[in-house]
Amino acid sequence: MQSRTHNCSELRIENAGESVKIVGWMENVREVSANLAFVVVRDFYGTTQVVIETEEQMAFIKGLNKESTISVEGTVRERASKNPKLPTGDIEVLPSKIEVLGRCRYNELPFQINRSRDADEATRLKYRYLDLRNPEVKSNIVLRCNVVSALRRAMTEHGFLEITTPILTASSPEGARDYLVPARNHPGKFYALPQAPQQFKQLLMTSGFDRYFQIAPCFRDEDARADRSPGEFYQLDMEMAFANQEDVFAVLEDVLPPIFAQYGKYDIASDAPFKRISYLDAMDTYGSDKPDLRIDLTVQDATEALSDCGFEPFAGNTVKAVVIPDFKETRKFIDKLCADVEVQSGNKAYWFRLDENGEPVGGISKFVTERKDAVAAALGLRPGCFVGLTAGKKLAAQKTAGVLVKMAGAAVPGHMDKERYEFCWIVDFPMYEIGEESGELEFCHNPFSMPNGGLEILEKVEKKEVDPLTVTAYQYDLVCNGVELSSGAVRNHDPEIMIKAFELVGLGEDDVKAKFPAMYNAFCYGAPPHAGIAPGVDRMVMLLAGEDCIREIIPFPMNKNAQDLMMNAPSEVMQKQLDELHIALVEQE
């Protein structure tokens, strides 16, 4: 027990009369009289009350600031006024000796420790070491440790080897910006921190390892979101040789539900097999490739029924509808819902409702009245239904409808079973897309994925017999409660198919060899079919903890601007360091 006989959550009425020693932070002092005070001592495990009954000890305690660390030796006795809410609420310690172990030298704290989550985020991040003293904040980090341990056990039990891959590696086009590290002994050249161990884990498969995993650190210079931490994050990275999509699904469907059921805020998690939804069906039905299956609302197509109704935003556009039966919310509620959808999606949402007689009222009802029967038949409407509408190019209309589903599902009572974890696989992602900036054909997801149809389908694209935008890949996402936990794929392990896939986006064999020399050459020595995935540990723990912000489950997170306010990083460095690295700073105009 280190320098103590018990921690601050151990002592019970059975210990009354024992001589003990506890250590911890002096959380609070409640003075009752000149010679009577109650001191709460807190350590990692809990709290214990210490009673002060002498003038000497009172003077000693009054000379300490809260959050000083102290050692208390004394006798356990039964409390006169018990606290049933605390594990140690039946006892208190009468001290014979109190010693200061670490003095808090500040009279005022940046925030109250037990209410640190009420402070602004910048203050919490600057004083994260104090924020973590809050048992509520600390519990998220403990949860994270337990989940990581459980994941390791489960993967090992499934025959996977934990193998670490390099942190300093070569820059690679993986979709986000690299963090670059200058190489002192190689002027003008740089290492890159890995965005993911993608190439290394595939190389392990070509090296003859059958099942690999690691809790892998990944580094991406990208902006923060509520479910994404800037800078670094961790993922359960895994890869399997001689495996296909079904093999990957089987492993995760066996590993994750028990962990979610044991450690999650909710004790209900999807059973295997998880629901499988193609990307196109997900966009059509849910308006999202990250559907929250706890919500019972879906998207319907209303283009034929409403595109020519005379309402200008619908003219010539795709129109999508979200129908909510037995809707009883107010106009104020509807206006806020539509405003929130516009803020999040960047596109407007429209609406009308049917009264008790089935007549369209409110919103754009005047454009619906003349065709109410046809619209009702097309959308399956009955009196009391609310109809939310979105319009635009197909993808924009779908995505806006998806935001409407998510927001209405959470806000309108009876349409979301919040206390459960619902998993699904999104499969058959498009292999290619037209880049928004370039206007050219680009890879939609992972360029190392195997196309459905293999070399044959790519040759048909090359001959213009098949539209490249209709080609799908063995790519899949794991989604839970509307959060994308992971992307994965069956890998393109055949050099001939790889070259053909890259040629379609304007990159030839020489480009592939130059950008991915190790993988290309390794595949030329006979590579096994292999597949993998990498669920995000941070996002997983965020869901398990019931948190909305990923920074709540990271021990020392950066802020939204990728700054560590506690360590003052990034920071300036000495000119000598820059000279050693052959770097000159140039001011931008």
Taking Cα atoms as reference points, which of 224, 145, 125 lies closest to residue 550?
Answer: 224
Which CATH number does the domain 295-416 belong to among 3.90.79.10, 3.40.50.170, 1.10.260.40, 3.30.1360.30? 3.30.1360.30
Domain ranges of the chain: 13-102, 295-416, 430-472+494-527
Q: Is pLDDT of 150 > 70?
A: yes
The pTM score is 0.91
With pLDDT > 70 as the criterion, what percentage of the chain qualifies?
A: 99
What is the rounded distance in angstroms from the CA atom of residue 154 to the CA atom of residue 450?
Answer: 28
What is the rounded distance in angstroms from the CA atom of residue 216 to the CA atom of residue 228?
Answer: 16
Mean pLDDT calculated for residue range 257-283: 94
Of the pLDDT bands very low, low, confident and very high (cuts 50, 70, 90), residue 174 is low
State the pLDDT at residue 451. Answer: 95
Alpha carbon 312 to its chain centroid, in Å, reads 39
Which element (helix H / strand E) includes 92? strand 91-102
Of the pLDDT bands very low, low, confident and very high (cuts 50, 70, 90), residue 486 is very high
Taking Cα atoms as reference points, which of 316, 297, 291, 296 lies closest to residue 306?
Answer: 316
E strands, 172-283, where? Answer: 179-182, 190-193, 211-220, 231-241, 275-278
Task: Report which DSSP code applies to 169.
Answer: B
Q: What is the CATH number of domain 13-102?
A: 2.40.50.140
Of the pLDDT bands very low, low, confident and very high (cuts 50, 70, 90), residue 226 is low
Mean pLDDT calculated for residue range 437-453: 88
Q: Is pLDDT of 175 > 70?
A: no
CB 337 within 8 A of CB 406: no
